[in-house]
Amino acid sequence: MTTPKQLLIQAAARNNAEWCAAMSRSHDLAGEFRAQAWAAPARTPLYYPDAVTLVPGADAAVLAARIDTTAPGASVKDSFADLDLTEAGFQVLFEAQWIHRPASAPAAASDLAWDVAGDPDTLRAWALAWDDGEGNADLFRPELLDDPATFVLAGQSPDGRVIAGGVASRSDHVVGISNVFALDGGPDAAWPVVLDAVHWLFPTLPVVGYEHTDDLAVAVRHGFEPVGPLRIWLHV
C-alpha cells in the first residue's frame, strides 16, 4: 500500500520534473513525460538533470537510453534513491532529502519586500543576484516568464535592489521551491521572504523541495521536515 509520505515524495518528484521541463523549454529543449520518468533527448541547461524519475523502481537501462550520455555532464535525478546506474557509466554525485512544509505552518516575518518577476529586466536583476558574479546568470531566459506555473520570487532591499529570492513552481497538489538565495545571510535570510511570498501566492498548498548538507539543516529550522532520500547520478 502506498503511504501518505510516499505519495508526497511522488508529488515532489513530479513537481521537480515539471520545473526541469519548464527550464529546458526556455532553452528550446523539449523533454518527454512517460510513466516512469521525465527525460530530455539532449543535454539540459547547466545544473539541471537530463532525467527525473517519477515512480519507484524505474528501469535503469530504459532511462539511460532516453538521454544523451555522449555529451559531457549528463545526469539523472533518482527521485527515490533506488537505482543503480553504474553499469550505464554513472556515479553518484550527491545525495539529498526531499523536504516538506505544511501549508498551515507559520512562517517568520520577513523585513524584505518581494515581488514576482514579470518582465525581462526584473528577471535579469534577479538572475544576476542569484548568480552573484559566477557567470551563469544567462541560465534564466526571458522565455521562462511565459510559463504559467513558474514564479520567480525577488526579495528587494529598501532601495529596490534584488538581494534574495527563489523560484516557486506550482503544480496541482504542491508548490516546489528551488534556487533559494540571499546575498547576505544565506538561506537563513532567504527562507523568510520566500515563504512569505509562497504563503501569500499559494495559501492552501504544501511546500516541497530538496536540500542537502548545511542547507538541509537550515530548511529544517524554517519548518520543513525531511521526507525521503533522492540521489543525483552523473555520467563519467
pLDDT at 3 (0 to 100): 87
Kindly state the DSSP code that residue 145 receives in the 8-state scheme: G
The ranges of the chain with pLDDT < 50 are none
pLDDT score recorded for residue 1: 57
CA distance 131 to 213: 20
Name the pTM for this structure.
0.96
Residue 40, classified by CB atoms within 10 Å of its CB into exposed (0-12), middle (13-18) or buried (19+), is buried
Position 211 scores a pLDDT of 98
128-152 confidence digits (pLDDT tens) = 999 999 999 999 999 999 999 999 9
CA dihedral 89, 94, 100, 101 (to 10 degrees): -150
